[in-house]
């Protein structure tokens, strides 16, 4: 009988311990998901948002600005929180067919259903304003400011400066450990590629509180845990933009290459390879059709004849 009572007491003690542990866990969950010192209703969460770093600018030998950045408006979709019945409303605000919204939604879901994905880039300020006014009706829709390259001189210097483009899957697989994410833009040719790590800067982050619909409510802890972005470093080149523009003018409707060097330092004063492509073309989102037309254009404008070809020497 004593042995039986002992077993009952042990069993009751184990059950009591389990109940106490479950009760403690329930209290913890209520503290996390219920009303908190942040004043949020149940179901709220903290979401991390990336803050894009400003890419470094480029200047010529005389301090003339060649390339910097311009802000653009981007609409982001978070599929997990998006209400499909709101598709027609968003389409109307953006001025696109509802089928386009559904297509973008599918693409965003394939990337990450829980992460805001840039879906409509470079929308006008007027369009952005319309969407912003209706955000309270559009769970799963948010916006961001993205930076695009801006060119300031008549000299294209396309093969010198190079261009940036959205990172591809294979490159992303190699560079994910360096902090790159899907949708990031990376230097593909020229100085943009050679000095990618210098120009790129470091992405920041901000934490925001979102409600059960994924809509941003306010900053988390008043932004005290945010990490500011660190801008990239500028490049000061040996290039002379006036000489570059003059050299390019000599190759209008022609094919060929020309390089001018500083006889004292060996610095490149100008470098021309024609035909080429205006790098401003890649400063905005490029459609597959546009990219294919560039790649298939006559005489391969992406080929740098000044550095990738061999020519017999001329008379001296």
pLDDT tens string 90-118: 999 999 999 999 999 999 999 888 888 88
pLDDT of residue 14: 60
The predicted model gives 163-169 an average pLDDT of 89
182 catalytic residue (yes or no):
no
Structure tokens that stand for 32 in this block: 């996390």
Asked whether residue 306 is domain-assigned, the answer is yes
Distance CA 193, CA 175 (A): 14
Range of weakest confidence among 14-28, 35-49, 50-64, 75-89: 14-28
pLDDT of residue 100: 96
Number of domains present in the structure of the chain:
1
pLDDT of residue 125: 92
The helix/strand/coil state of 55 is coil
pLDDT of residue 18: 61
Locate the DSSP E strands across the chain: 45-51, 58-59, 65-77, 117-123, 141-151, 164-166, 185-187, 204-210, 216-219, 235-236, 256-261, 268-274
Note down the domain range covering 221: 41-67+150-316
Is a pLDDT exceeding 60 seen at residue 247? Answer: yes
The predicted model gives 113-130 an average pLDDT of 91
Distance CA 153, CA 245 (A): 8
Please state, as a whole number, how many other Cβ atoms lie within 10 Å of the Cβ of residue 69: 18
Residue 124 banded pLDDT, cuts 50, 70, 90 = very high
Asked whether residue 4 is domain-assigned, the answer is no
Distance CA 157, CA 72 (A): 24
Distance CA 255, CA 57 (A): 29
Please state, as a whole number, how many other Cβ atoms lie within 10 Å of the Cβ of residue 3: 7
pLDDT of residue 283: 78
The predicted model gives 225-230 an average pLDDT of 92
266: domain CATH number?
A: 3.90.1310.10
> Could you say which DSSP state residue 115 is in?
S
Structure tokens that stand for 244 in this block: 């570059």
pLDDT of residue 181: 87
- 153, 150, 160: which is closest to 276 by C-alpha? 160
pLDDT of residue 210: 80
Asked whether residue 315 is domain-assigned, the answer is yes
Distance CA 13, CA 71 (A): 64
- 66 close to 241: Cβ distance less than 8 angstroms: yes
Q: Are strands 235-236 and 141-151 parallel, antiparallel or unpaired?
A: unpaired
The helix/strand/coil state of 102 is helix
Is a pLDDT exceeding 50 seen at residue 281? Answer: yes
Range of weakest confidence among 64-73, 118-127, 169-178, 296-305: 296-305
Using CA atoms in the order 33, 34, 37, 40, what is the torsion angle rounded to 10 degrees?
90
Most confident of 7-11, 43-47, 153-157, 257-261: 257-261
* E strand or H helix at 249: helix 241-249
The predicted model gives 113-128 an average pLDDT of 91
Alpha carbon of residue 307 to chain centroid: 30
Structure tokens that stand for 33 in this block: 């998901």
pTM: 0.76
Mean pLDDT of the chain: 85
The predicted model gives 223-241 an average pLDDT of 94
Range of weakest confidence among 195-199, 216-220, 264-268: 216-220
Query: Considering the chain, what percentage of its residues have pLDDT values greater than 70?
Result: 84
Structure tokens that stand for 14 in this block: 């184990």
Asked whether residue 125 is domain-assigned, the answer is no
Distance CA 289, CA 294 (A): 9
Is a pLDDT exceeding 60 seen at residue 128? Answer: yes
Asked whether residue 292 is domain-assigned, the answer is yes
- 217 close to 211: Cβ distance less than 8 angstroms: yes
Asked whether residue 105 is domain-assigned, the answer is no
Residue 47 banded pLDDT, cuts 50, 70, 90 = confident
Distance CA 288, CA 168 (A): 13
- 53, 54, 55, 31: which is closest to 44 by C-alpha? 31
Q: How far is CA 113 from CA 162, 182, 228, 250, in A?
A: 34, 13, 26, 52
The predicted model gives 200-205 an average pLDDT of 93
Asked whether residue 6 is domain-assigned, the answer is no
Q: Which residue out of 85, 287, 296, 315 is catalytically annotated?
A: 315
């Amino acid at each position: 009988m004593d042995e039986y009572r002992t077993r009952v007491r042990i069993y009751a003690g184990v059950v009591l311990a389990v109940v106490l542990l479950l009760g403690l866990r329930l209290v913890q969950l209520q503290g996390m998901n219920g009303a908190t010192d942040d004043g949020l209703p149940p179901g709220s969460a903290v979401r991390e948002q990336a803050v894009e770093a400003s890419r470094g600018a480029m200047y010529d030998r005389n301090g003339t600005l060649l390339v910097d950045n311009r802000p653009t408006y981007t609409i982001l979709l978070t599929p997990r929180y998006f209400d499909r019945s709101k598709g027609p409303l968003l389409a109307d605000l953006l001025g696109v067919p509802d089928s386009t919204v559904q297509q973008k939604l599918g693409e965003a879901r394939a990337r990450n259903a829980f992460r805001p994905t840039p879906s409509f880039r470079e929308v006008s300020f007027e369009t952005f304003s319309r969407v912003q006014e209706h955000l309270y009706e559009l769970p799963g829709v948010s916006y961001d400011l993205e930076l695009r390259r801006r060119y300031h001189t008549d000299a294209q210097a396309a093969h010198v400066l190079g261009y940036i483009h959205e990172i591809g899957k294979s490159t992303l697989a190699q560079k994910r450990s360096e902090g790159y994410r899907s949708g990031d833009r990376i230097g593909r040719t020229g100085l943009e590629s050679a000095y990618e790590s210098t120009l790129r800067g470091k992405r920041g982050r901000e934490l925001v509180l979102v409600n059960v619909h994924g809509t941003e409510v306010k900053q988390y802890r008043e932004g005290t845990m945010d990490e500011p972005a660190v801008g990239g470093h500028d490049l000061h080149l040996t290039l002379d933009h006036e000489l570059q523009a003059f050299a390019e003018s000599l190759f209008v409707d022609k094919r060929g290459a020309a390089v001018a060097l500083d006889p004292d330092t060996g610095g490149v004063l100008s470098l021309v390879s024609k035909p080429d492509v205006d790098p401003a073309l890649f400063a905005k989102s490029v459609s597959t059709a546009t990219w294919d037309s560039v790649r298939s254009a006559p005489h391969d404008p992406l080929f740098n004849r000044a550095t990738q070809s061999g020519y017999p020497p001329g008379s001296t």
